[in-house]
Structure 1
Amino acid sequence: PAPAPTPAPAAAATGPIGLWATEKKEGMVRVEACGPNLCGYAVDEKTGRNGQKVLIDMKPSGSVWKGRIKDTRNGGGGIYDSTLAMKGDDRMRVQGCAFGGMFCGGQTWTRVN
């Protein structure tokens, strides 16, 4: 007999994959798989299509994902160390740090249904 189908991981339903509104509703980011990791793309408001990559190669590490984040605000282009941590099913804490963690800032993003 054929093996039973493997159920999808439970984390997929409550994990970071999906569409997120930034804390101050400045924009939306679509998080999706990119190979074994996660990437996030700024979403074009007019077309709904993925734009610039803002979350780069986020790798699972325990209960968080670690990688890099690109600051696109005010024409910025800095890339910083970043972590993503789920806060329930529909909220995610996104943090970026510079200078080896000496300066950190973050936002809580809300899932868009």
Structure 2
Amino acid sequence: MNFSQIARPLCLTSLLLASPAAFAGPSPQGEWRVADGTATIRVHRCGAAFCGNIATTITPAGKDIHNPDPRKRNRTVLGIEVLYALRATGPNAWSGYSYNAQDGQTYTITVSLASATTLRVQGCVPGGGACGGETWTRAR
């Protein structure tokens, strides 16, 4: 058996066993400043998807008073998960859900990397409600 007969199966096996992250392109991971500058959201991997939590606020963090679950209305907004189940839908694009602590609503969203330093977030109220969007800038 020569080297190429041994090396080819080893290379193919290595490719098959490599983690999916090895093939991943750009991702939304990082810390992003929301459009009005009042908070940053830390986007991270959560299983096969991405999630995001409120990392910082420029004023003392308020309470989640608009949450539809009365048991959660006294919790601080700092650290709560506001983006979840973001899954790739194409190059530099993901879709999932966003919880907005300012109105207690959950939105379906699409997130796309407009550049290495800008993240476009667009959302709609499920069921055909109002839609809107904003651009976040990379904080870290």
Q: Which runs of 5+ in 2 are unaligned?
A: 1-6, 61-77
Distance across 2 between alignment mates of 1:72 and 1:94: 16
The gaps in structure 1 that reach 5 residues or longer are none
Contact 1:15 1:89 (8 Å CA) reproduced: no
Which of residues 56, 66, 91 in structure 1 aligns to 2:118?
A: 91
Q: CA RMSD in A?
A: 2.4
Which of structure 1's runs of 4+ aligned residues deviate more than 4 A?
A: 1-7
1:70 aligns with 2:84: no
Distance 1:88 1:44 in 2: 23
Name the structure where strand makes up a greater proportion of residues.
1
Aligned residues: 106
TM-score normalized by the length of structure 1: 0.80
Greater shift, 53-62 or 100-109, is seen at 100-109
Q: Share of identical aligned residues, percent? A: 32
Structure 1 residue 106, shift from structure 2 partner: 0.9
Which residue of 2 is the match for residue 100 of structure 1?
Answer: 127
Alignment check: 8 A CA contact 2:120 2:134 kept: yes
Bigger radius of gyration = 2
| Aligned amino acid, residue 85 of structure 1 | S
Distance (whole Å) between structure 2 residues aligned to residue 28 and residue 71 of structure 1: 13
Paired residue for 2:83, among 55, 80, 96? 55
- 1:32 and 2:44 correspond: yes
Give the 3-state SS of the residue equivalent to 2:88 in structure 1. Answer: strand
Distance 1:111 1:68 in 2: 20
Distance 2:23 2:123 in 1: 27
Pick the structure with more helix per residue.
2
C-alpha separation in 2, matches of 1:77 and 1:102 = 15
